[in-house]
Chains A and B, each alone.
Chain A
Amino acid sequence: MTLTAILVVAAALFGIGLFGALSQKSFVMLMMGLELMLNGTLLAAVGFWAFTLEGAPKGQLLAILVMAVMAVELAIGFALVVAVYRKRQADVVESLGTLKQ
């Protein structure tokens, strides 16, 4: 287990997440792509902490912040999905050509 290996795995997760976020039609699936990208970020953060910081706890703090970002993304994302669904009865990206009414 080396830092390089961990970062490559993180890059793979990030790449898959990017693919998902760009390719999925449904809002909820799109958010799953974002989550997977953040998953890679989390892994990279913990990897850097474990292998380059000599145990300085700032690295763990970064990982906790990534988790907080995930929670915020999820909550706001779902709230937006609910709001959009109310207004447009739509749950796919294509139906949002404009942000106007």
Chain B
Amino acid sequence: MTDIAFYALSALAIWSGWRVFRVDSMIRATFALMVSFICVGGIALLMSADYIGIATVFMMAVEMMVMGLFMVMFMMNPAGLNPMQMVHQHRFSIGAGIAAFIGLTVAVLATNLPNNPLPAGRDTLHDLGVELLGGSMLIFETAGVTLLATMVGAVVLSSRPGRFGDSDAGAVPPGLQPGGQPAGRKVEKSGGHGGHGGDSSHDMNMKGAPKSDDAPHKRHGKMPEEES
């Protein structure tokens, strides 16, 4: 029973982990990763890590939610409705991934792993609590301070106003060709379209920009000839 659950969860974890980089829709990718995490949490539960398993689900649901938001904000094509190329150095990456997997697997199979399993009926939750606020308190508190520093750092990095003026002062998007004109929407002096197509700088990465028939103001008009 435990074995069946373990193999099912493992298969789902690996499959959804693989789907993360294979689906078109970014939201699907994000939540495929979440499914992978939930499966790992389930496996941890099978190994009677009561707290770790559920805490993984809990943390990862929140993290992936935030990740999904950033996906929609920053990706040029979050729903995967337009075909586009999102990978680089593809061959090398596949090779590196397979090499890592085979190397680690060989290492696992070649090693004579010790076998001291968890005694049955041990109160792992109680153990963890005593350890966190007892023997390893310093480590735990260090993690807490690190998280605090992270929060401060994240706010500093991402805040717009800074000591030396706004962080985006004078920022220019990269050119479409090396050394070419900056990409992005040119500010139209005529007005009246404020708020539309504000992030069309993304479109440079699309193969075949969508023919938006609701855009009389030529949202994609400033693009060079579409790459094919």
Given a CB threshold of 8 Å, the question of whether A touches B is answered with yes
Instruction: Give the complex CA separation of A23 and B30 in angstroms.
Output: 16
**Residues on the A chain within 8 Å of B168, using CB:** 86-87
Distance, CA A57 to CA B140, complexed state (A): 13
Nearest-neighbor residue (CB-CB) of B53 within chain A: A46
Contact status B174-A95, CB under 8 Å: yes
Give the contact-size bracket for chain B: 35 or more
Given known contacts A11-B105, A22-B89, A64-B52, is B67 in contact with A91 (CB within 8 Å)? no
In this assembly, does B61 line the interface, its C-beta being within 8 Å of a C-beta of chain A? Answer: no
Q: Is the CB of B70 within 8 A of A78?
A: yes
A89 touching B173 in the complex, CB below 8 Å, given contacts A11-B104, A49-B49, A51-B117: yes
Residues from chain A with a CB closer than 8 A to the CB of B160 are 86
Find the B residue at minimum CB distance from A59.
B49
Task: Find out whether the CB atom of B100 lies under 8 angstroms from the CB atom of A29.
Answer: no
**In the bound complex, CA of A52 to CA of B153 (Å):** 38
User: Contact at A13–B143, with CB atoms within 8 Å?
Assistant: no
Complex partner residue of B154 from A9, A31, A58, A75, CB under 8 angstroms: A75
- Asked if B158 and A78 make an inter-chain contact with CB atoms under 8 angstroms apart, the answer reads yes
Asked whether any CB of chain A lies closer than 8 Å to the CB of B127, the reply is: yes
A88–B136 CA distance with the chains assembled, in angstroms: 43
Known interface pairs A19-B93, A78-B66; A32-B20 also in contact (CB < 8 Å)? yes
Stretch at the interface among B71-79, B208-216, B217-225: B71-79
Instruction: Please determine whether A1 and B139 come into contact, CB atoms closer than 8 angstroms.
Output: no
A50 touching B118 in the complex, CB below 8 Å, given contacts A16-B14, A18-B97, A95-B174:
yes
Q: Report the bound CA distance from A19 to B88 in whole Å.
A: 11
B187 adjacent to chain A (CB < 8 Å) = no
The chain A residue sitting closest to B86, CB to CB, is A25
Q: Is the CB of A1 within 8 A of B20?
A: no
| Nearest-Cβ distance from residue A56 to partner chain B, whole angstroms | 8
Question: Is the beta-carbon distance between B93 and A22 smaller than 8 angstroms?
Answer: yes
Please determine whether A15 and B101 come into contact, CB atoms closer than 8 angstroms.
yes
Contact partner, B93, options A6, A23, A57, Cβ 8 Å: A23
Chain B residues whose CB sits within 8 angstroms of the CB of A13 once the complex forms: 13-14, 17, 36, 40
B131 lies within 8 A of A88 (CB): no
Please list the 7 inter-chain residue pairs (A to B) with the smallest Cβ-Cβ separation, ordered nearest first.
Answer: A19-B97, A15-B101, A23-B93, A89-B173, A11-B104, A57-B131, A79-B157
11 more CB-based (< 8 A) A-B contacts, given A22-B89, A46-B43: A9-B43, A10-B104, A26-B86, A43-B40, A55-B119, A60-B49, A61-B128, A61-B131, A70-B63, A88-B172, A93-B88
Mind listing 30 A-B residue pairs with CB under 8 Å? Answer: A1-B2, A3-B115, A4-B113, A5-B10, A6-B43, A11-B101, A15-B104, A23-B88, A24-B87, A32-B20, A32-B21, A42-B56, A50-B49, A53-B116, A53-B118, A61-B128, A61-B132, A64-B55, A64-B143, A71-B147, A72-B150, A75-B150, A75-B153, A75-B154, A76-B150, A78-B70, A79-B153, A89-B173, A90-B174, A95-B174
